[in-house]
């Protein structure tokens, strides 16, 4: 099976700590390697992961606060230094195009890498990828911010024993898959009779935001949700004021949205003990819960069990 995993580069909001680098995340998903929100130090953190600039296919930036984008200049220059042979797509809020232009050319370098720049300028904007659809949703933060989700369409898995029972083989299998039915010996065999649905997988990335519709839209049925939990409930009023989430809120979103694996990150440096994020989230969410640490790898959970056709 293809590799689908999250590699955490950094987990600190605002200011790094001795244990936590600024934000940064890599998503390996089949032939895509997507870098999300590279903060300062992301390039060096990447050295520890075995993933190189040449592996990157796409960069997604949620917004232009420094802890989510100050790693861009180094990463973009690295693409040229390593002579990355194919275009790397870059998505960011269109309103921040000026920031992006400055970061892209923050200092002198010999530019050889090609960037396919595709800014996000609408809530719900969709980008079609070979692996599914990348969708951006507007979030609630003091500056224009978009979260992202990756949605793989449902597929269809043929059941060999059922095909055999109907005596279907060879080119007939392709015909049945394509047309949805096949007429044999005076009887129509439908695709549903010989296959099961292969549920598509979903990944969601929610960062920085107060609670809003976009958070729920992104989190819906995510197999893996990466979500900011800058604060604890004790700072809920402050969180709402500055456009951030608490661990409790993030966990309730995950529980209400049918999330399977929940990854909390983007922690304020005011909290010394990460266990507190875990304990607060656990009160609301019973699924797989990860309080992210730098350089941790989190697997996308195995596909949901197919429903019989
Ligand atoms: Zn921010």
* pLDDT higher than 70, residue 184: yes
Both tokens of 219, joined, read 């989190």
* pLDDT higher than 90, residue 305: no
Q: Cα(253) to centroid of ligand 1, in Å?
A: 19
Q: Going by C-beta distance under 8 Å and a sequence separation of 6 or more, which residues neighbour residue 246?
A: 229, 230, 231, 232, 233, 235, 236, 239, 280
**Average pLDDT of the chain, as a whole number:** 95
Both tokens of 75, joined, read 């990463």
**Residue 67 annotated as catalytic:** yes
Query: Of 31, 55, 67, 185, which is the active-site residue?
Result: 67
pLDDT category, 28, cuts 50, 70, 90?
very high
The dihedrals phi and psi of 208, each to the nearest 5 degrees, come to -85, 140
pLDDT, mean of residues 70-86: 96
Tell me which H or E stretch contains 242. Answer: helix 236-242
What's the pLDDT tens digit per position in 223-267?
999 999 999 999 999 999 999 999 999 999 999 999 999 999 999
pLDDT, mean of residues 67-71: 97
pLDDT category, 115, cuts 50, 70, 90?
very high
Q: According to the model, what pLDDT value does residue 307 have? A: 58
Q: Cα(29) to centroid of ligand 1, in Å?
A: 26
Per the document, the length of the chain is 309
* pLDDT higher than 70, residue 127: yes
Q: Cα(63) to centroid of ligand 1, in Å?
A: 7
pLDDT category, 308, cuts 50, 70, 90?
low
* pLDDT higher than 50, residue 309: no
DSSP state of 227: E
Q: Cα(242) to centroid of ligand 1, in Å?
A: 9
- pTM of the complete model: 0.92
Q: According to the model, what pLDDT value does residue 10 have? A: 96
The span from the CA of 75 to the CA of 99, in Å, is: 15
Q: According to the model, what pLDDT value does residue 186 have? A: 85
Q: Cα(30) to centroid of ligand 1, in Å?
A: 29
């Amino acid at each position: 099976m293809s590799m689908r995993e999250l590699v955490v580069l950094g987990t600190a909001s605002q200011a790094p700590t001795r244990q936590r680098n600024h934000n940064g995340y890599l998503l390996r998903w089949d032939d895509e390697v997507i870098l999300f929100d590279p903060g300062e130090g992301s390039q060096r953190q990447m050295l520890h992961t075995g993933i190189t600039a040449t592996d990157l296919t796409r960069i997604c930036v949620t917004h232009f606060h420094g802890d989510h984008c100050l790693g861009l200049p180094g990463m973009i220059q690295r693409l040229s230094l390593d002579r990355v042979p194919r275009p790397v797509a870059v998505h960011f809020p269109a309103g921040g195009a000026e920031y992006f232009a400055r970061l892209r050319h923050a200092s002198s370098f010999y530019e050889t890498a090609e960037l396919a720049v595709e800014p996000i300028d609408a809530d719900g904007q969709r980008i079609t990828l070979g692996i599914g659809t990348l969708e951006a949703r507007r979030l609630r933060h003091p500056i224009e911010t978009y979260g992202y989700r990756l949605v793989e369409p449902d597929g269809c898995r043929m059941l060999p024993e059922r095909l055999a029972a109907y005596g279907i083989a060879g080119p007939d299998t392709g015909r049945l898959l394509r047309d949805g039915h096949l007429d044999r010996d005076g009887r129509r065999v439908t695709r549903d009779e010989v296959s099961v649905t292969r549920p598509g997988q979903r990944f969601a990335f929610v960062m920085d935001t107060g609670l809003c519709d976009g958070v729920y839209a992104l989190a819906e049925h995510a197999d893996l949700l990466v979500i900011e939990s800058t604060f604890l409930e004790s700072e809920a009023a402050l969180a709402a004021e500055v456009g951030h989430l608490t661990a409790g809120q993030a966990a309730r979103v995950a529980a209400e949205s049918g999330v399977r694996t929940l990854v909390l990150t983007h922690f304020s440096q005011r909290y010394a003990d990460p266990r507190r994020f875990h304990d607060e989230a656990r009160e609301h969410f019973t699924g797989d819960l990860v309080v992210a640490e730098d350089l941790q790898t989190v697997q996308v959970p195995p596909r949901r069990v197919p429903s019989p056709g």
